[in-house]
């Protein structure tokens, strides 16, 4: 992450109900990100600056730093992502109650269309019901079944767009009724920042990203309510703990 002062406090606060340790890599922030992170005593803060963009390198470093803490589970979150309020408790319950053969959990992503500090009733998101269904990602995995020497690689011919979960010996997973609010496109300013980033660092895939964003905007903006429920939104195949 880099220059996420607008979001990082909210992201770290949303993780507190999990009660675990946080490993964070700052890729040379020039705003107040470092001061905010250092105000949290339970964050293992790593800093680097002047290196070329390489998401695979950074995710691999984070993974190996996390393994040094000998956790049972790892949950991944970006600097501009915040766990929805009820979701932290659902994730904690999933970690504690997962069947022995389940080692990966997939959670839902909500692309937000309102500022991170907006009151709950004013929160809006772009991922309403649509033929495109809901965006979800593998974000939580049991360390026991992960390759300790795994190196994250891009899904495309570049150094971006890596997955968040390493290869598993037995990839048994479930969808979890948990949501991550993603604020990367929450305002015209944030959208322009994302466009500039992908245009510079991923010109080959930039048209694909632009098309994805246009399709999402066509869905319109939906009120967030008090944390969406998968059953209310007709998402099947999820588990609730």
Question: Three-class SS string for 45-102?
Answer: EEECCCCCCCHHHHHHHHHHHHHHCCCCEEECCCCCEEECHHHHHHHHHHHHHCCCCC
Range of the domain at 162: 72-239
- 51 found inside a domain: no
- 188 found inside a domain: yes
**Dist CA 11 CA 89 (whole Å):** 15
- 13 found inside a domain: no
CA 144 to chain centre: 22
- 44 found inside a domain: no
Residues (pLDDT < 70) of the chain are 127-133, 226-241
- 18 found inside a domain: no
- 150 found inside a domain: yes
Total of domains in the chain: 1
**Dist CA 27 CA 142 (whole Å):** 26
- 57 found inside a domain: no
Q: What is the DSSP letter of 226?
A: S
Region of residue 138 (left: phi > 0; alpha: psi -120 to 50; beta: else): beta
Q: Are 129 and 108 in contact (CB under 8 A)?
A: no
Q: Are 151 and 130 in contact (CB under 8 A)?
A: no
Q: What pLDDT is recorded for position 106?
A: 94
- 37 found inside a domain: no
Q: What is the CA radius of gyration of the chain?
A: 17
**Dist CA 98 CA 14 (whole Å):** 22
Output the CA–CA distances (angstroms, integers) from residue 239 to 25, 73, 106, 156, in the order listed: 31, 18, 10, 31
Contacts 24+ apart (CB under 8 A), 57-64: 57/159, 58/25, 58/27, 59/152, 59/162, 59/164, 60/150, 60/151, 60/152, 61/25, 62/23, 62/25, 63/150, 63/152, 63/166
**Dist CA 55 CA 152 (whole Å):** 8
Q: Determine the 3-state secondary structure of 170 from DSSP.
A: coil
Q: What pLDDT is recorded for position 185?
A: 85
Q: What pLDDT is recorded for position 239?
A: 63
Q: What pLDDT is recorded for position 132?
A: 46
**Dist CA 56 CA 154 (whole Å):** 6
Q: Are 139 and 107 in contact (CB under 8 A)?
A: yes
Task: State pTM to two decimals.
Answer: 0.90
**Dist CA 204 CA 207 (whole Å):** 7
């Amino acid at each position: 992450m880099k220059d996420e002062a607008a979001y990082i406090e909210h992201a770290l606060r949303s993780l507190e109900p999990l009660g675990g340790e946080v490993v964070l890599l700052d890729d040379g922030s020039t705003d107040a990100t470092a001061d905010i992170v250092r105000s949290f005593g339970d964050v293992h803060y790593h800093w680097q600056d002047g290196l070329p963009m390489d998401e695979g390198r950074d995710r691999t470093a984070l993974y190996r730093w996390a393994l040094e803490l000998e956790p049972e589970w790892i949950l991944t979150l970006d600097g501009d992502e915040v766990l929805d309020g009820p979701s932290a408790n659902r994730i904690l319950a999933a970690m504690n109650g997962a069947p022995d053969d389940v080692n990966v959990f997939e959670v839902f992503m909500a692309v937000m269309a309102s500022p991170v500090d907006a009151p709950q009733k004013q929160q809006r998101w772009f991922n309403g019901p649509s033929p495109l269904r809901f965006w979800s990602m593998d974000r939580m995995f049991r360390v026991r079944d992960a390759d300790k020497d795994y190196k994250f690689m891009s899904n495309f011919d570049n150094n971006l767009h890596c997955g968040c979960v390493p290869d598993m010996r037995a990839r048994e997973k479930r969808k979890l009724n948990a949501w991550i609010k993603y604020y990367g496109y929450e305002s015209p300013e944030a959208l322009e920042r994302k466009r500039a980033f992908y245009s510079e660092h991923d010109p080959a895939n930039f048209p694909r990203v632009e098309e994805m964003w246009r399709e999402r905007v066509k869905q319109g903006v939906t009120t967030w309510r008090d944390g969406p429920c998968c059953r209310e939104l007709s998402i099947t195949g999820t588990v609730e703990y």
